[in-house]
């Protein structure tokens, strides 16, 4: 049923907590887990007349790749099929949705930070954006905090 399960990560323990459910599903359906992290572009601030260019923090991208590699090795030791991708992008939710579509992912498993009210409105919710815009089925796990 689920051949490819995408788990978007941001380096936090909360996001990583979605791996427990992804592991259970992967074992049940003999699925591949795809770990995915978006490294956001960083704006370069300068003269207001200039268009603000975007750069990639190479150290941040390298750290994301090491983090994903470490998790990949852990999951493989448990006998799971795993791959990982770190990608740069400006809109994290869009990158997750596009990656899922391009790679024919069958399920996205992710955690939400559990914000509500004004904090969600101000900070935005990547999980909410993915939930409302993706065509791929989603298992959204709410934070216990």
Task: Write the pLDDT tens digit of every residue in 79-125.
Answer: 999 999 999 888 899 999 999 999 999 999 998 865 554 444 434 58
Domains of the chain with CATH codes: 4-142 (3.40.50.620)
Per-residue pLDDT tens digits for 2-46: 999 999 999 888 889 999 999 999 999 999 999 999 998 766 555
Alpha carbon distance 36, 57 (integer Å): 17
Beta-strand (E) ranges in 1-145? 4-9, 32-40, 42-43, 54-55, 81-89, 107-112, 138-142
Indicate whether 73 pLDDT > 50. Answer: yes
For residue 39, what are the β-bridge partners? 88
Per-residue pLDDT tens digits for 119-129: 444 345 888 89
pLDDT at 71: 97
Nearest in space to 2 (alpha carbons), one of 133, 134, 138, 140 = 138
Q: Which pTM was predicted?
A: 0.84
């Amino acid at each position: 049923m689920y051949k490819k399960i995408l788990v978007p990560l941001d380096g936090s323990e909360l996001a990583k907590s979605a791996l427990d459910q992804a592991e259970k599903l992967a074992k049940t359906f003999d699925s591949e887990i795809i770990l995915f992290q978006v490294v956001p572009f960083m704006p370069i601030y300068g003269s207001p007349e200039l268009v603000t260019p975007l750069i990639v923090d190479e150290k941040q991208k390298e750290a994301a790749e090491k983090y994903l590699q470490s998790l990949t090795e852990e999951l493989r030791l448990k006998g799971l099929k795993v791959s990982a991708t770190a990608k740069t992008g400006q809109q994290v939710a869009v990158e997750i949705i596009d990656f899922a579509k391009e790679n024919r992912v069958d399920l996205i498993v992710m955690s939400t930070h559990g914000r509500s009210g004004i904090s969600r409105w101000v900070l935005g919710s990547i999980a909410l954006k993915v939930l409302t815009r993706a065509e791929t089925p989603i298992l959204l796990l709410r934070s216990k905090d």
